[in-house]
Homo-oligomer: A and B are copies of this chain.
Amino acid sequence: MDPKLIEIIEKELNSKSYPSNPKELYEPIRYILSLGGKRIRPLVCMMAAEMFGLPADSKSVLHLAKGLEIFHNFSLVHDDIMDEAPLRRGKATVHEKWNRDIAILSGDVMLVQAYQELIQSESEDLKSLIDQFNRSAILVCEGQQFDMNFETIEDVSLEEYLNMIQLKTAELLACSLKMGAMLANASETDAEALYRFGINLGLSFQIQDDYLDSFADASKFGKQVGGDILANKKTYLLLKAKENASSEQSERLQAAMKLNGEDKVSAVLDLYRELGVDQDCEKAIDKHYQKALEELEAISVDAQLKAPLKNLAAKVMKRDH
């Protein structure tokens, strides 16, 4: 990540001013925006704009970047209510710290504030810019709905799962890149290529997230390896395993998933390996990563202007060490 750009975003987000009343509405907004995070969406938006000649720290770009981060945080506040999550970035979620109603309403205000930032971006084609934002915003909501549906549906296909993570995670990343490019008057072809770069990078990242939860080096992984298995979470690995399994293997997988604790994790992992799911997953991660790089490659600017986003992709995917 570029620490200088992230510092600029943080400063922008933390210096936002709010009415003092009703404080129940504005304190949660200040709170959630101060909790940090990778700020990856505003970051790639700024980098995309810079790639096409608009300085990353120009006012216009910063408004757009802020709008995207505020939208992302709006979606976190509302998703956390739905998921009944107690913690976000190690701190109490808004509905826990205040209450459900305040989380709904301050989230609503944030969604409007995102548009307040967008319209200040001095775009030459504000309509197209907001149109792109609207479409992506709705897709993100669709992703959340599919994710909730999948919790109670037994038969989720791998294809449906990939569609869900694309909507829920990759879409806003791709949108951020594309909007940065659009603001800098990139050609539609280039803006679309950057969008697909974002979709593929987002997919690669999310599939890797699933992979690491099961196959990470426990000494380097930040959380418990096997958490998804213990929670019966529908992941790329589990859905691919179901796809690959013979009926006999499928029965063994079901039996393994009825075990508890370490026994469950190791039995399921053994089956994942037997079914070649670890390798399938690695291939999928690599396929989307390479596809992302190809999309970046095809963009009609000098290679050196693409280097920052290429490096960012490598860092996000931990391919740099």
Contact = CB atoms under 8 A, between A and B. Distances in A.
Interface of A: 19, 21-22, 24-25, 78, 81-82, 101-102, 104-105, 107-109, 111-113, 115-116, 119, 126-127, 130-131, 134, 137-138, 141-142, 144-146, 148-149
B144 A105 contact: yes
Copies in the complex: 2
B119 A134 contact: yes
For the complex, would chain A's binding face be called helix, strand, loop or mixed by DSSP majority?
helix
Contacts of A101: 81-82, 148
17 contacts: A19-B142, A21-B142, A22-B145, A22-B149, A81-B101, A101-B148, A105-B141, A105-B144, A107-B108, A108-B111, A111-B111, A111-B112, A112-B134, A112-B141, A115-B130, A116-B134, A119-B131
Given A112-B137, A127-B126, A149 B119 contact: no
Contact of A130 (B108, B130, B131): B130
Contacts of A82: 101, 104-105
Contacts of A109: 138, 141
Given A81-B104, A101-B148, A104-B104, A22 B142 contact: yes
Enumerate the 8 nearest inter-chain pairs by beta-carbon distance, A residue then B residue, closest first.
Answer: A82-B101, A22-B145, A112-B137, A25-B145, A116-B134, A109-B141, A119-B127, A119-B130
Contacts of A24: 145, 148-149
Contact of A22 (B25, B113, B146): B146
A110 to B, nearest CB: 10
Nearest to A115: B134
A104 B145 CA distance: 11
Nearest to A19: B142
A67 B107 CA distance: 20
Given A82-B101, A119-B131, A146-B22, A112 B138 contact: yes
Contacts of A142: 19, 21-22, 25
A108 B78 contact: yes
A81 B141 CA distance: 18
